[in-house]
A and B are shown apart, each in its own frame.
Chain A
Amino acid sequence: MTQDENAVIEVPAAAKRSVVAYLAVAATVVLLMMLFGLWMRLAQGELATLAPDRFYQILTIHGAGMVGAIALASVAVQWFFLNKYLDLSARVFVANLGLFLIGVVAILASVFLGGFAGGWTFLYPLPAHSMGIWGRGAAALFMGGLLVIGTGFLLLYLDIGRALLARYGSLWRSLGVPQLLGSTQSAPPAAVIAGTMVLIVNTLGIVAGAAILVMSLVNLYDPAFRIDPLLAKNMIYFFGHVFINATIYMAITAVYEILPVYTGRPWKSSRVFIAGWVASTVMVIIVYPHHLLMDFAMPEWAEVVGQVISYTSGLPVLVVTSYGALTIVHRSGIRWDLASGLLFLSAFGWAAGVIPAIIDATIVVNQQMHNTLWVPGHFHFYLLIGVVSMVFGFMSYLARGGRAPSPTRGGMLDGVAFWGFVLGSLGFVAMFLYSGSHSVPRRYAVHLAQWEPYDRIASLFAAVVVLAVAVFLLRFFRNLRNAVRAEA
Chain B
Amino acid sequence: MYQALALKLTIVFVGLVMAAFIYVAARAGRRREYAEVQTRAYRIRGYWFWLLVLLGTPVMLYTMTRLPYSLAAQQAGQAQTVRVTGHQWYWSLSQDSVAAGRPVVFEVTSADVNHGMGIYDENMRLVAQTQAMPDYINRLAYTFKQPGDYRLLCLEYCGVAHHNMSAVLHVTAAGVH
A residues neighboring B (CB under 8 Å) = 1, 52-53, 56, 59, 117-119, 123, 125-126, 129-131, 133, 228-230, 233, 265, 272, 294-297, 300, 303-304, 307-308, 311, 314-315, 318-319, 322-323, 326-327, 329-334, 336, 344, 347-348, 351-352, 355-356, 359-360, 362-365, 367-372, 374, 433-434, 436-439, 441, 443-446, 448, 450
Q: How far is the CA of A402 from the CA of B29 in the complex (A)?
A: 22
Q: How far is the CA of A132 from the CA of B85 in the complex (A)?
A: 21
Q: A123-B157, A330-B41 are in contact. List 5 more A-B contacts (CB 8 A).
A: A303-B69, A334-B28, A336-B25, A355-B10, A371-B156
> Which of these, A333, A359, A370, contacts B9 with CB under 8 Å?
A359
| Interchain pairs with CB closer than 8 A, number | 233
B113/A117 in contact, CB under 8 A = no
Query: A117-B159, A294-B116, A439-B120 in contact; A367/B128 too (CB < 8 A)?
Result: yes
B125/A439 in contact, CB under 8 A = yes
B6/A441 in contact, CB under 8 A = no
> Which of these, A311, A330, A336, A359, contacts B6 with CB under 8 Å?
A359
Interface residues on B, range: 35 or more
Q: Can you report 6 A-B residue pairs in the complex whose CB atoms are below 8 A from each other?
A: A131-B88, A296-B69, A297-B137, A323-B45, A333-B29, A444-B162
Contacts of A369 in B (CB 8 A): 2-3, 6, 126
Q: For residue A329, which residue of chain B has the nearest CB? A: B28
A355/B160 in contact, CB under 8 A = no
A363/B68 in contact, CB under 8 A = yes
Is B153 among interface residues, defined by CB-CB distance under 8 A?
yes
Is B112 among interface residues, defined by CB-CB distance under 8 A?
yes
Q: How far is the CA of A6 from the CA of B63 in the complex (A)?
A: 53
Query: A229-B114, A319-B49 in contact; A333/B159 too (CB < 8 A)?
Result: no
Q: Name the segment of B13-21, B74-82, B94-102 touching the other chain.
A: B13-21
> Which of these, B6, B53, B158, contacts A360 with CB under 8 Å?
B6
A370/B155 in contact, CB under 8 A = yes
Q: For residue B157, which residue of chain A has the nearest CB? A: A443
Query: A126-B113, A296-B69, A437-B7 in contact; A229/B126 too (CB < 8 A)?
Result: no
Give B43-73 interface residues, CB cut-off 8 Å to A: 45, 48-49, 52-53, 56, 59-60, 63-64, 66-70, 72
Q: How far is the CA of A364 from the CA of B2 in the complex (A)?
A: 8
- Write the nearest CB–CB distance from B37 to chain A, whole angstroms: 5
- Write the nearest CB–CB distance from A366 to chain B, whole angstroms: 9
A437/B6 in contact, CB under 8 A = yes
A331/B27 in contact, CB under 8 A = yes
Nearest first, the 10 A-B pairs at minimum CB distance are A333-B31, A331-B32, A439-B126, A296-B138, A437-B7, A371-B155, A327-B41, A444-B163, A297-B136, A437-B3
Residue of A297, A314, A365, A445 with most chain B CB atoms under a 10 A cut-off? A297
Query: A228-B135, A351-B17 in contact; A367/B129 too (CB < 8 A)?
Result: yes
Contacts of A119 in B (CB 8 A): 157
A296/B139 in contact, CB under 8 A = yes
Q: How far is the CA of A355 from the CA of B135 in the complex (A)?
A: 35
Contacts of A126 in B (CB 8 A): 113-114, 157-159
Residue of A228, A295, A336 with most chain B CB atoms under a 10 A cut-off? A295
Contacts of A438 in B (CB 8 A): 3, 124-125
Is B38 among interface residues, defined by CB-CB distance under 8 A?
yes
B4/A437 in contact, CB under 8 A = yes
Contacts of B129 in A (CB 8 A): 294, 367-368, 370-371
Q: How far is the CA of A307 from the CA of B135 in the complex (A)?
A: 26
Query: A326-B24, A439-B124, A448-B124 in contact; A334/B29 too (CB < 8 A)?
Result: yes
Give B119-167 interface residues, CB cut-off 8 Å to A: 120, 124-131, 133-140, 153-164
Contacts of B161 in A (CB 8 A): 52, 131
Contacts of B9 in A (CB 8 A): 355, 359
Q: How far is the CA of A344 from the CA of B1 in the complex (A)?
A: 36
Contacts of A360 in B (CB 8 A): 6
B138/A295 in contact, CB under 8 A = yes
Q: How far is the CA of A331 from the CA of B34 in the complex (A)?
A: 8
A307/B24 in contact, CB under 8 A = no
Contacts of B32 in A (CB 8 A): 331
Contacts of A444 in B (CB 8 A): 162-163
Is B30 among interface residues, defined by CB-CB distance under 8 A?
yes
- Write the nearest CB–CB distance from A268 to chain B, whole angstroms: 10
Q: For residue B138, which residue of chain A has the nearest CB? A: A296
